[in-house]
Structure 1
Amino acid sequence: MKLTITAGPYVFDAVLETEKAPHTSKAFLERMPFEGKIVHVRWSGEGVWIPLGDFDFGVNYENHTSHPAPGHVILYPGGISETEILIAYGGVAFSSKVGQLAGNHFITITSGLDKLYEVGRKTLWEGAQSIRFEAAQI
């Protein structure tokens, strides 16, 4: 399924990884359009994240990684740290104050990858940015 992600002033095309992460994709689809605020990561490197506290998507690990590539969107379903969605814009070693984590890679950004670094830097230096995930208009 194709998605549109609007992060701050930037718009990206993306694909929901329904075959690789079917349960996470389904849970996320049920909550779309999904809106939040991205802030820069604290420990993980070049990424932005949506902190979600104790929000429960009702999923376990699938297609999980600690090293998402630029343009990969992962969901950490909670447990030893809070629930979160992370978007990698550069090198990421996904972790928290308690150590390394793994999140479910469930969305891949397919256009505008050259603008992801700008999103990360804007978030780092200017603060939280709005983000919206929605089904692409075909």
Structure 2
Amino acid sequence: MQMAFIHAPMDGSMIHVSWSGSACFFRLQDRAWSVPYEGNPIRFPSKGEVLVYPGNRPDLQMGGELYFAWGPNAFSCGNGNLSGNHVMTIVEGLDRLEEFGIKVHIDGHQETKLELMD
């Protein structure tokens, strides 16, 4: 899948997903609206898997997001269940992902810069 919706680098906040369990998200606003669902969108990502949710269903969510699983989770929001396209898997630093997720959960949003590497 093309990651053209990521205009690197992007600054924003990593926020705990209060409805989903052990995961965080980075809000994309309307940047991912054009991303179509692939054949098998995921609702239960594994630790380190990153999903993109287009956010083109305003009745369910406030814009798109990148969803980062750091432990047991089920992708959802206050209005119901969600699913997203698997776009990448965190490999380097996976051993520190849970620590980061807990920090976001306990301390609140963490300022984050996202950029694609070659």
TM over 0.5: yes
Identity %: 37
Unaligned runs of 5+ in 1: 1-21
Corresponding residue for residue 4 of structure 2? 26
Pairing 1:126–2:107 present: yes
Pairing 1:56–2:31 present: yes
CA-atom RMSD in angstroms = 1.7
Greater helix proportion: 1
Unaligned runs of 5+ in 2: none
Pairing 1:69–2:46 present: yes
Equivalent-residue separation in structure 1 for 2:16 and 2:111 (angstroms): 12
Aligned residues: 112
How far did residue 116 of structure 1 move? 0.6
How far did residue 64 of structure 1 move? 2.0
How far did residue 32 of structure 1 move? 1.2
Question: TM-score if structure 1 supplies the norm length?
Answer: 0.73
Equivalent-residue separation in structure 2 for 1:98 and 1:135 (angstroms): 31
Question: TM-score if structure 2 supplies the norm length?
Answer: 0.84
Asked whether the equivalents of residues 5 and 31 of structure 2 are also in contact (C-alpha less than 8 Å), the reply is no
Greater strand proportion: 1
Superposition pairs of residues 25-104 of structure 1, within 5 angstroms: 25-28=3-6, 31-53=7-29, 55-57=30-32, 58-62=34-38, 64-78=41-55, 79=57, 80-82=60-62, 83-104=64-85
Equivalent-residue separation in structure 2 for 1:135 and 1:112 (angstroms): 15
Q: List, as ranges, runs of 4+ consecutive aligned residues in structure 1 with deviation greater than 4 Å.
A: none
